[in-house]
C-alpha cells in the first residue's frame, strides 16, 4: 500500500447515492472487459445534479467530454456517501475514473464494504466536515500512516479516523487477498 495519496480533490455534498455515482441504465456493461469497462469511468458521477457537481460552486463535470478518466484522485464527500443500491459498479466506476480514496463524514454500509472488500479505493472517514473547507481542484495529500489529509493549496491539515478493523483488508487489497494471506482460503 502506498503511504501517501496525492492529487486533485473533487468535492461533493451529502447523500451521494449510487444512482448518482453510476446511473442504473449503465449497469449493463462488462466489468471484466478492459475496453468495455472504461464506460464505467466515463459515466462515473454523471447523475450528480449540475449545481452540486464539484463544490463549492458546482457546474464542474467530474469527467470531461468523452474521457473515461478524471483529473481528480481524491473525492471529498459529506455524510452517508454511497447510499442506495448494492451495486459494486459504484466504487468500481470511481476507481476506473482514477479515484484512489474518498474522504467523507460517513458511508452507507454496502458501499463501504464494496470499496474495502473489492479493494477498489480507500474510504476514509473525516473527523470533521471537510466539504466546506476543501474546494474542487485543490491539491490534497492523504498521509496513510498518520491518518491525515492536508490541503496543499492552503497548507491546512485535518485528522482522519483510523481504518480500524478493516485496515488489514485494505492493506491486503481486498477480502480475497486477506483471506488467502490468513489461510481461510487457498
Cell digits of residue 186 = 487457498
For residue 164, give Cα distances in angstroms to 112, 124, 180.
13, 11, 20
21-60 residues near another protein, rule: CB under 8 A: 23-25, 27-32, 47-49
User: Closest separation between CB of residue 33 and another protein, Å?
Assistant: 10
Q: Per rule CB under 8 A, is residue 179 in the interface with another protein?
A: yes
Beta carbon nearer to another protein, 131 or 151: 131
Q: What are phi and psi of 144, to 5 degrees?
A: -75, -25
Q: Per rule CB under 8 A, is residue 1 in the interface with another protein?
A: no
User: Closest separation between CB of residue 36 and another protein, Å?
Assistant: 8
For residue 39, give Cα distances in angstroms to 31, 32, 45.
9, 12, 12
Q: Per rule CB under 8 A, is residue 165 in the interface with another protein?
A: yes
The stretch near another protein (CB under 8 A) out of 62-70, 125-133, 136-144, 174-182 is 174-182
User: Closest separation between CB of residue 42 and another protein, Å?
Assistant: 14
User: Closest separation between CB of residue 172 and another protein, Å?
Assistant: 13
68-107 residues near another protein, rule: CB under 8 A: 79-80, 83-89, 106-107
Cell digits of residue 121 = 479505493
E strands of the chain, at which residues? Answer: 4-11, 72-76, 101-104, 122-125, 139-143, 148-151, 156-159
Q: Per rule CB under 8 A, is residue 131 in the interface with another protein?
A: no
Cis peptide leading into 155, omega within 30 of 0? no
- Whether residue 70 contacts residue 137, with contact meaning beta carbons closer than 8 Å, is answered with no
Q: Which of 113, 124, 136, 163 is in the footprint of another protein by CB under 8 A? A: 113
Q: Give the 3-state secondary structure of residue 71.
A: coil
State the residues that interact with another protein by CB under 8 A: 15, 17, 19-20, 23-25, 27-32, 47-49, 79-80, 83-89, 106-110, 113-114, 117-119, 165, 174-176, 179, 184-186
Amino acid at each position: 500500500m502506498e503511504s501517501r495519496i496525492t492529487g486533485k480533490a473533487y468535492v461533493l455534498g451529502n447523500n451521494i447515492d449510487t444512482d448518482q455515482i453510476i446511473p442504473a441504465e449503465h449497469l449493463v456493461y462488462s466489468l471484466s472487459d478492459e475496453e468495455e469497462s472504461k464506460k464505467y469511468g466515463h459515466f462515473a458521477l454523471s447523475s450528480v445534479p449540475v449545481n452540486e457537481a464539484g463544490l463549492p460552486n458546482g457546474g464542474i463535470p467530474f469527467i470531461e467530454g468523452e474521457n473515461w478518466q478524471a483529473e481528480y484522485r481524491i473525492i471529498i464527500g459529506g455524510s452517508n456517501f454511497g447510499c442506495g443500491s448494492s451495486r459494486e459498479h459504484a466504487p468500481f466506476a470511481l476507481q476506473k475514473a482514477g479515484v484512489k480514496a474518498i474522504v467523507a463524514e460517513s458511508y452507507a454500509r454496502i458501499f463501504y464494504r464494496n470499496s474495502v472488500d473489492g479493494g477498489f479505493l480507500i474510504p476514509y472517514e473525516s473527523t470533521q466536515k471537510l466539504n466546506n473547507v476543501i474546494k474542487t481542484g485543490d491539491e490534497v495529500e492523504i498521509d496513510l500512516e498518520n491518518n491525515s489529509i492536508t490541503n496543499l493549496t492552503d497548507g491546512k491539515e485535518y485528522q482522519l479516523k483510523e481504518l480500524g478493523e478493516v485496515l488489514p483488508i485494505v492493506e491486503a487489497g481486498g477480502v480475497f487477498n486477506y483471506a488467502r494471506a490468513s489461510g481461510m482460503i487457498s
